[in-house]
Amino acid sequence: MKKPRSKKPAFAKHYPYYLANRPVTAKTVLDVLDKYSGKRAARVSYADAAVVRKAIVAAHKARPAMAAFPPDKRRDVLEHCVRRFEERAGELALALCIEAGKPIRDARGEVTRLIDTFRLAAGEATRLGGEVLELGISERTRGYRGMTRRVPVGVCSFITPFNFPLNLVAHKVAPAIAAGCPFVLKPAAKTPIGALIIAEVLAETDLPKGAFSVLPCSNEDAALLIEDPRIALLSFTGGLVGWDLKARAGKKKVTLELGGNAACIVDADPGTSLDHVVQRLVFGAYYQSGQSCISVQRIYAHVDIYAKLRKKLKAAIAKLSMGDPREEATFIGPVIDEAAAQRIESWIDEARAGGARRLAGGPREGTMIPATLLENVPQNCALYRQEAFGPVATIEPFDDFDAAIDAVNDSDFGLQAGVFTGQLSHAMRAWDRLEVGGVVVGDVPSFRVDNMPYGGIKDSGLGREGVRYAIEDMTEPKLLVIRG
C-alpha cells in the first residue's frame, strides 16, 4: 500500500474528483451546502462528459489487470480501507452530518456500517469459488469432467443517492473490488464528499491503474454510464427514474433499488411489549428524518390494541428533539433541501384535505419538518400510494390479519415489510403472502444488516444487494470441460 496522506479536516476548501485512481482538481466546481444552515460548506471538482468518457476508457483498459489482481491483494485493499475508515471515523461522521444533514448519532452509525461492509467484502474476496460438475449423465459423456469458477463481468457503473452517501456507495464499491471489476461511480450531487473521501483512501492502495473513478457530474453528463456498451453492469439506487435508465441501458446487466412505502403490521398479540413496538416504530419512521427506502410509512394496527398504540405513539413522537444535526440530542434534522420539504408538506396537506387527521406534527420551518403521524389517510393520496421519503407515517386499524396483508400488498412497491406478532402461523403467513423482497418479524422493515440480501420486487427494483449477493451480480460462471 502507498503511504496514507495526512488527515484532512472534515471539509477541505476544494475536493478533487478521482479519474483513473488519481485526484484531479477542475476549474468547474460544485458547491456542497450545509443542509442545516443552507450555507456553502465546501466545493468539489465537477466532471463533464469528456471526463466521464475518459473514465470509462480507463476502466475498460483496466479489465485484464483487475481480473488478474490476486484475491489476496483485493482482500488487502479492502482491509486497508477498513483501517483507514476507522482512523477517519470522526471526520467521516461530521462530513456526513454536514453534507446530508444527518443527526450525528445516525452519522456515526452509518460510518460503522461503511466499515462493516468493507470488512465483509474483504472476507468474500478470497471466497469466490465455483463448483465441480458431474457430466457423466449418459454413455455419451463418460470420461468428461466439468468445473466452474466465477469471473468478473467487466466494467461497472454505479449511481448512488443522497440519503446514505457512505454505505450505499460501499455496497457497490466494496463488492466490485472483491469481484475484480473496475468501476466508475457517480455520487449524488447533493452529498458527494463521503464518496470522495472513500476514493482518497482507495488512491492509497495498489489497485491497477484505471480500476476506479469517482466523478461528481450532472445527470446529462452521466448518460454514458447508462448507455456506453463497454460497461457490463449498471447498478442504480434512487427513484423510479431507474426504470427509464434500464430502458436505455442496452445489453448490460442492470440492478435497481428504487425505494418503497414500507408497511408494518402490529398484530393483536405483537409478541413483545407495546412500549417496545412503539420504540421501534418511532425509530423506523423518523430516523434520519424518514429519508430511507425502508422507513416505516404505513402502520396497520389490530383494533384490539389500536387506541393504546396510537396514544403511546403520540406521546413518544412528542418527545423527539428536532434541530441542529450536530447536537447529540437531535433526532430529527433537516430533509435534503427546500424542494423536498415543500413536496412532503404538500402531501400532508393533500391527505388532511381528504379527511386525514394529524395526530402528531406541526408546520414546516424551511427544511425542517416535525415528525408527523396521520390517521384516516385516503388510499388515493400521494402519502399513501407513493414514497414519502420524509418524517411522516400513517396509521390505520385492521380486524383480520389476512386483510392487513392485503393492505400491505396494495402498493406498487415491495421492498421490505415488518410484522409484530406472537403467532408463528401469522409470521409464516406473512412470509408466504407479503409481496416484498424481505419480511422482518418482530421488528420494523427499516432493519438491515449489510450481509443480507436486500432488494425488492414490483416498482422497488431488480436484483439484490448485500455483499455476497452483489458479488454474484458482478461475476459470472466460467466453465471448464476436460476430456480424459
> Known catalytic residues?
257, 293
Task: Taking each helix axis as running N to C, give the angle between helix 104-124 and helix 167-179, from 0 to 180 degrees, rounded to the nearest 10.
Answer: 10
d(CA 344, CA 333): 15
d(CA 469, CA 89): 26
Q: Do 225 and 52 form a contact (C-beta atoms < 8 A)?
A: yes
DSSP string, 231-261: EEEEEEESSTHHHHHHHHSTTSEEEEE----
Strand 416-420 vs strand 438-441: parallel, antiparallel, or unpaired?
A: parallel
d(CA 140, CA 241): 51
Residue type, 192: P
What is the Rg, in whole angstroms, of the alpha carbon atoms belonging to the chain?
23
DSSP string, 46-111: -B-HHHHHHHHHHHHHTHHHHHHS-HHHHHHHHHHHHHHHHHTHHHHHHHHHHHH---HHHHHHHH
DSSP assignment, residue 4? P
What backbone phi and psi angles, to 5 degrees, belong to 83? -60, -45
Q: Do 456 and 125 form a contact (C-beta atoms < 8 A)?
A: no
d(CA 156, CA 237): 14
Q: How many residues does the chain have?
A: 484
d(CA 56, CA 47): 13
* Sheet (strand 461-462) strand order: 22-24, 17-19, 212-214, 183-186, 155-159, 231-237, 253-257, 461-462
If residue 390 lies in a helix (H) or strand (E), which one and from where to where? none
Q: Is 296 helix (H, G, I), strand (E, B) or coil?
A: coil
> Could you tell me the three cell numbers for 349?
396537506
d(CA 17, CA 216): 7
Of 81, 41, 47, nearest to 199 (Cα)? 81
